[in-house]
Structure 1
Amino acid sequence: DADGRLGPRSREVRATTPAAVTDDTPPTRPGDTRGRAAGARAVRLTWAASTDDRGVVSYDIHQGGTKVHSVGGDRTSAQVTGLRPGTRYTFTVRARDAADNVSPAGAAVRLTTPGSDDAAATAPTALRASSHRADGAYYIDLSWVPPRGDGVITEYQIELDGRAATSLVYGDEAPRERAEYSFYAGTQAGVTHRVRVRARLSDGTWGGFSAERKVTTGTGG
């Protein structure tokens, strides 16, 4: 009451919450996947709807092994943009339900966008290479300007002496103006290496390689 005094307790009532229902069944595979080029930088994909006991909430579009687009579960088509002219692509579609179960991929759709690919336009620029010594070993120091295009570049491949040496993956703080990376190059001085860099673009493909630079351990450049 207004004076803070409590009355007698009510009759006790017992209740049991229902057990959580586990959903571990993925949707069915999207069927009849098809596609066509929609100009030099886009493709149009269509598919037959998947089914799920609790409903499909989205469809994920993958280019190779990279998810590049997503649409709502009520959609059976999508347009993927930001592609490169004259480039061969492979797309697959997967359905996703509310429990985050993902279906098997539908049949792969292989398309080539019209036009010619200008690899130079997708290559990192202003590559610089030098070396330094630390803890008895030599390291190669690189810096470059990311290629301009749709989205932020978050992954690079560094080629050393004609072979892929390492991959560099950034998180949310991927550089926009100039990227830098340093990696181990052995313990011997006076060894000359050839280095170049390329970026994974927003469409999931690798862009062109930067200009090649030579760097000799123990000389600083």
Structure 2
Amino acid sequence: AAGNLSAPSAAAAVTTPAPTPADHEAPTRPVKLRGKVDGSRAATLSWGGSTDDVGVTSYDIYQEGSRIHSVPGAQTTARLTGLRPGTVYTFTVRARDAADTSSPDSNTFDLTTATAPGAPASTAPTDLRITSSAQGKEYAVDLDWKQPETGGKIPAYQLYLDGRLTTTIVWGGEPPAGRASYRLTVTDPRGTRYSMKIRAKLPDGKWGDFSAARTVVLGG
């Protein structure tokens, strides 16, 4: 209290951590995404690892554009549970680094869970293919797909773009047999990315199961 100082304590040496390197680059794209179903409610995915100038901290699993699961960066497999029986799922994976920068999407991989006992067969269209081509200042997006077996003619389809209903496809005459096709014209700029899926109107008037989602990039 009088302001007198004691003798110094013993010295203690410390070393501060080295500075964390700046992370300026996004991770590379995960490759060779593949997987298998485990019954009607689970699946396991695996992929080739990404690289980053500092390091990959995690991998994010997406289902039709929504992140549903994450695993640490040292892990290149993921087990997904809580899936629905007899349902088509479309998965992609992105790598993420310490700066929270994500890689481009991996390849798309589709899985169909097993149907539950007594459940009806899937009514989802399959083998959906999408391409885009420039038409002046617009882009034509061409879709074609294999129609589901429904026991009757399919009078219409609903087309969803980025999770929202965009149009109802109604045939002008006799519904096509086998594969069906449709052209959508859009005015968005080159490089715009869409996720698209369709479902059929069944002969009983109800809407069937969704197809696997497909991604198209205008001009890509």
| Category of TM-score, reference length = shorter chain | 0.3 to 0.5
TM-score (norm 2): 0.45
TM-score by length of 1: 0.45
